[in-house]
Amino acid sequence: MKVLVPVKRVVDYNVKVRVKSDGMGVDIANVKMSMNPFDEIAVEEAVRLKEKGVVTEVIAVSCGVAQCQETLRTAMAIGADRGILVETDVDLQPLAIAKLLKALVDKEQPGLVILGKQAIDGDNNQTGQMLAALADLPQATFASKVEVAGDKVSVSREVDGGLETLSLSTPAIITTDLRLNEPRYVTLPNIMKAKKKQLDTFKPEDLGVDVAPRLKTLKVAEPAKRGAGVKVADVAALVDKLKNEAKVI
Amino acid sequence: MTSLVIAEHDNASIKTATLNTVTAAAACGGDVHVLVAGEGAGAAAAAAAQIAGVAKVIHADGASLKDGLAENVAAQVLSIAGNYSHILFPSTAAGKNVAPRVAAKLDVAQISDITKVDAPDTFERPIYAGNAIATVQSADAVKVITVRTTGFDAAAATGGSAAVETVAAVADSGKSAFVGREVTKSDRPELTAAKIIVSGGRALGSAEKFTEVMTPLADKLGAAIGASRAAVDAGYAPNDLQVGQTGKIVAPQLYIAAGISGAIQHLAGMKDSKVIVAINKDPEAPIFSVADYGLEADLFTAVPELVKAL
């Protein structure tokens, strides 16, 4: 069975982003970009399934600007067999990405699609679920454990009160949570090998998908700043402040 | 213009996240209806009818809805979606699971985790781990929304008298099945609804120390216990206690962070708390930049002292 793993190029998780002074977005020029951390976990899981012998091919997909190729090469260095780039300069929103992925699912017929649960830039947490709806496939979101057995896949999910386990018939859509695995480091020889792997490029038109944004961003602002705090000398002073100044206990 | 709120419930009662979502729905203008989908959820539907500001409760009862499988719940919502201009889910694990499925089937964009309603088509939502607030406008006929519950006050749980209308439950999709559930047992207040939260980080060092140090403080304050990702990954605390960008988003009256450095991803989950207290022995820890009261001390001495002083 094939596995499709969508990966997103995002601002590195350690970067503290700044809002542009014109209030029209976040300044991402000259900022370090990386693979979305949840997507790394998704690639790792797909590669582990391949190493276990239940998966035959891992295909990494990215949608966006030409530089997303770098993200795909990273996925291939982790162990993906080939990459697909859907290249566009349009600001892609989750619904558009889900439609592009649906077109690729129809084309490649994977047994599983493993996505990250959310991208750390838009914080939407939508694409996997939307893809499942469009492709009319079952979904297991926020996965912390995945086991494939025949044409069923058993997934433990992180939910508000603890964990729950679902059994899905394949093909199915899975989104990863942090606890699913620890992604491996890519090694230099694997980075070199990844450069030789196949990478196909499509345009959204090739897939017959309209990617025009549906939501209009009117403005982007800094969040309200917190007032400066004080340091207290000892526990007694802290308790006094909490009781008499903040009046919260 | 009518809004539909998808209730979060445990069949017997309505969870508070639903009450915050009702407030957000009311802010969109028009009547508010609530969908209670479950099995044997008559009591929850009756409770939903009591919520102030709710005009009608739609109760769908059937085995297909028992475990809240996304495929079935989304189909249930879609079966009545035609009547509504806004469909709102609380931004909980369950809400986030189902809402995008509904939006995609309606071919509309979903608006995640709103913190404010500016107009019936304009909403504010945090992006980049809460480091920027985007104001977005939707031109879609139906607005499918998830609501950050800490962004809205809870509607009064009593005072309403809505009619309860029963609808047939959808058939099971047959594509997914519920196998089991492991619930973390806790007699403490629920993390997302607690007035006081005491949260521990990596500095606690072990699961035993985590329990030994944090529990007495939580007991004394009647507080919920939270944890940083480092503490959860190290196995000191179960992962449903994680506060942060990818865990729970909380905004209690008082948040006490003990042994937490204050990474961007953690701050994203708690920086809207009213009063933040940081106890950390590293004076350079970023947590001090958001703390109202900072105590530079070893938590293993400071926390027990604090318990004694309270």
- Give the 3-state secondary structure of B232-275: HHCCCCCHHHEECCCCECCCCCEEEEECCCCCHHHHHHHCCCCE
Q: Express each pLDDT in A106-125 by its tens digit.
A: 999 999 999 999 999 999 99
Which residues on chain B are in Cβ contact (under 8 Å) with A248? 196, 253-254, 274-275
Are the beta carbons of B220 and B188 closer than 8 angstroms?
no
Size of interface A-B (CB pairs under 8 A): 259
Give me the residue from B122, B174, B245 closest to A218, CB to CB: B122
Which residue among B93, B126, B292 places its CB closest to the CB of A142? B93
Give the C-alpha distances (Å, rounded to integers) separating B50 from A181, B47, B161. 44, 5, 5
Residue of chain B minimizing CA distance to A210: B107
Average pLDDT, chain A: 96
- Determine the residue among A41, A118, A235 to mutate to test chain B binding: the one whose Cβ has the most chain B Cβ atoms within 10 Å: A235
Residue A12's closest chain B neighbor by CA? B128
Give how far B162 is from chain A: nearest CA, Å: 29
Query: Mean pLDDT throughout A132-151?
Result: 97
Share of chain A above pLDDT 90, in %: 95
Query: B212 CB contacts (<8 Å, ≥6 apart)?
Result: none
Residue A248 is predicted with a pLDDT of 84
Closest-CA distance of chain B to residue A12, Å: 11
Q: Sign (positive/negative) of CA torsion A52, A57, A62, A63?
A: negative
Closest chain B C-alpha to A10 CA, distance in angstroms? 10
- pLDDT exceeds cutoff 90 at A180: yes
* Residue A1: predicted pLDDT: 94
Residues in B closer than 8 angstroms to A154, CB to CB, are: 179
pLDDT at residue A227 above 90? Answer: no
Give contacts of A165 with chain B, Cβ < 8 Å.
Answer: 178-181
Q: Convert the pLDDT of each residue in B137-194 to its tens digit.
A: 999 999 999 999 999 999 999 999 999 999 999 999 999 999 999 988 888 999 999 9
Measured distance CA(A226)–CA(B196) in Å, rounded: 19
